[in-house]
């Protein structure tokens, strides 16, 4: 809200593996993850895109430069700046893009530990999902500083039409909250309370149960695996047939 100062920051000075995890943790803390289906499987657009952003910042950085790498979350977009050895200037395009390994040893290492895709495929994923996530294609700008500009949704907005299909399914006047829709997608596979809390970065079980899970349970969209023991430590939550049909209907709906 106040653009004259940072609301939060993380100064990352550690090894490359922990740096990658810290960047993604910061993104997950501050950016929404709108519900999105591919077929009947939920995918995280945010994680797909920013996995590539984080690995790009660390793998392709020009380490002989003293310029710090930066990732800035602004209203409606994320901008990154990274010192670079350019092999061209201007916006990159998939039609003319030719991947070039700037730090091949680091790149190979990141691929071995599954924190990066094969050279070039990550950019294609980023371009494929970027518009679905934020409503505009990402921009990748080559120069002495390599810049990525990714449009992002604000909290309280939907980046995909699928959420609208579920409105009215949850028994509230305003329809389902973002967290409720998110839980519905997560529960395509069974999840424990601990796992759900970890996904949302929450610690208060009571609030998650009352604000998010209870309306979904009451509407019959999810169910407990041990309904006779609601507070069991082995309790897990899963989608019901009604919830699955609602998700399948959204997948079939034309964009």
Each residue's pLDDT tens digit, 132-175: 898 888 999 988 999 999 999 876 554 444 454 455 556 554 45
Q: How far apart are CA 162 and CA 93, in angstroms?
A: 29
| Identity of the highest mean pLDDT range in 30-39, 133-142, 244-253 | 133-142
Encoding tokens for residue 41?
């499987």
**Phi, psi dihedrals of residue 148, rounded to the nearest 5°:** -120, 130
So what's the pLDDT on residue 160?
Answer: 47
Encoding tokens for residue 214?
């209870």
Q: pLDDT band at residue 20, thresholds of 50, 70 and 90?
A: very high
Q: Which residue has the higher pLDDT, 85 or 169?
A: 85
> β-pairing, 145-151 with 77-83?
antiparallel
- % of the chain beyond a pLDDT of 90: 36
207 and 169 Cβ atoms separated by less than 8 Å = no
Q: pLDDT band at residue 25, thresholds of 50, 70 and 90?
A: very high
Mean pLDDT of the chain, nearest integer: 83
Q: Which residue has the higher pLDDT, 24 or 119?
A: 24
All domains in the chain, ordered by first residue: 16-151 (3.30.565.60), 162-252 (1.10.10.10)
So what's the pLDDT on residue 91?
Answer: 84
So what's the pLDDT on residue 181?
Answer: 76
Mean pLDDT of 8-29: 94
Q: pLDDT band at residue 89, thresholds of 50, 70 and 90?
A: confident
Mean pLDDT of 93-102: 72
Q: Which residue has the higher pLDDT, 236 or 154?
A: 236
Other C-beta atoms lying within 10 Å of the C-beta of residue 82: 21
**Residues 164, 166, 172: CA angle, nearest 5 degrees:** 105
Please say if the pLDDT value at position 254 is more than 50: no
56 and 149 Cβ atoms separated by less than 8 Å = no
Please say if the pLDDT value at position 176 is more than 80: no
So what's the pLDDT on residue 68?
Answer: 92
Mean pLDDT of 198-220: 86
Q: pLDDT band at residue 41, thresholds of 50, 70 and 90?
A: confident
H-run or E-run covering 134: helix 121-134
pLDDT in tens, 104-121: 999 999 999 988 887 767
Q: How far apart are CA 195 and CA 229, in angstroms?
A: 18
Encoding tokens for residue 90?
């201007």
């Amino acid at each position: 809200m106040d653009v004259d100062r940072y609301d939060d920051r993380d100064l990352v000075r550690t090894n490359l593996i922990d740096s990658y995890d810290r960047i993604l943790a910061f993104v997950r803390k501050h950016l929404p993850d709108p519900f999105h289906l591919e077929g009947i499987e939920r995918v995280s657009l945010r994680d797909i895109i920013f996995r590539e952003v984080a690995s790009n910042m660390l793998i392709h950085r020009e380490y002989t430069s003293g310029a710090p790498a930066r990732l800035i979350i602004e209203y409606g977009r994320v901008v990154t700046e990274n010192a670079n050895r350019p092999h061209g200037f201007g916006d990159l395009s998939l039609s003319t893009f030719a991947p070039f390994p700037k730090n091949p040893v680091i790149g190979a290492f990141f691929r071995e530990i599954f924190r990066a895709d094969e050279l070039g495929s990550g950019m294609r994923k980023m371009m494929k999902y970027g518009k679905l996530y934020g409503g505009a294609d990402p921009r990748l700008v080559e120069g002495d500083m390599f810049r990525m500009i990714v449009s992002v949704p604000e909290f309280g907005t939907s980046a995909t039409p699928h959420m609208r299909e579920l409105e009215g399914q949850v028994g509230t006047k305003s329809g389902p909250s973002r967290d409720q829709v998110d839980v519905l997608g997560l529960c395509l596979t069974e999840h424990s309370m601990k796992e759900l809390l970890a996904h949302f970065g929450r610690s208060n079980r009571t609030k998650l149960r009352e604000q998010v899970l209870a309306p979904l349970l009451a509407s019959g969209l999810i169910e407990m695996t041990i309904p006779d023991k609601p507070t069991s430590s082995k309790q897990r939550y899963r989608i019901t047939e009604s919830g699955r049909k609602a998700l399948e209907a959204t997948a079939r709906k034309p964009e």
